[in-house]
Amino acid sequence: MRKIFLFIISFFSVILVQGQIVDSDGLKARKTQMFGSKSWKSIATEIVTHLSLDERKAINYVKVIELPNNTEEQLFEKAKRWANRVFNTSECMVRSIDDSSHSIIVQGYVNNAVEHIGGSNIYYINLRPIVRIQVKNKKARITFTMPAYYVHKEEKSGSLFRPNSHSEEIWDISKCYPFDRYSDLHEITSAKALVMTHLCVTRYMEIIEDVLRSTLLPDDNNNW
């Protein structure tokens, strides 16, 4: 009973953040837990050795989970109910549910995952990962894709009489540090973005695996 109660609490705590199943504060705490006091650039250069960009120049992570105690239909129902509950805002949404292939694609969101002051510019980066969950033969395949970094840039005017300028940018990850170590003019910001992406991936994977390994969801009964 205590385990079920704790699961219900953790499940609803995920929902209460309105689709942001991770946030920037949680990711920063996770950075300290996983990497200690290492610099952003050193962590990024460590992470990139295990990564490659796909043909669309996006970052991809893939994890396959063995779930022998579940049928394909049970797994898909868990994933579908969870996705519909959590990804229900303008920023976080269910992009597709394919009943025939037991596949779900959701759009995630982490607001201001990165904040960095570089010279006269202030950068705020939002992460918009695409996550696909596909179940088959008592397995789940989770694919996490980061297609680009979405940047709000604030440029200081240097004058009390002129407001700072603001612009929205989309950064091509292949042109960001550490994938491009020579021409990136905002390498620390880019390093932070890669590290936060990696931390976001690990947390998403944990949460989805917990959902799929769980017993019945809080409003379920024994009739699948």
Digit-coded pLDDT (tens) for 134-186? 999 999 999 999 999 999 999 876 666 667 788 999 999 999 999 999 999 99
Higher pLDDT, residue 121 or 16: 121
pTM of the model: 0.85
3-state DSSP assignment of residue 77: helix
Mean per-residue pLDDT for 27-32? 93
Digit-coded pLDDT (tens) for 67-124? 998 899 999 999 999 999 999 988 899 999 999 999 999 999 999 999 998 778 899 9
CA–CA distance, 90 with 197 (Å, rounded to integer): 21
Task: Please report the domains of the chain, with CATH numbers, ordered by start residue.
Answer: 21-213 (3.30.530.80)
Give the dihedral sign, CA 167/168/173/178: positive
Determine which of 16-20, 31-35, 198-202 has the lowest per-residue pLDDT on average: 16-20
Which ranges of the chain would DSSP assign to H, the alpha helix?
2-15, 24-35, 40-48, 72-86, 187-213
Share of the chain above pLDDT 70, in %: 84
The angle, 0 to 180 degrees and rounded to 10, between the axes of the packed helices 187-213 and 2-15 is: 140
Cβ atoms of residues 87 and 94 within 8 Å: yes
Comparing CA positions, the residue from 169, 101, 104, 102 lying closest to residue 130 is 104
DSSP-assigned states of every residue in 179-197: TSSSS-TTHHHHHHHHHHH
State residue 90's pLDDT score.
85
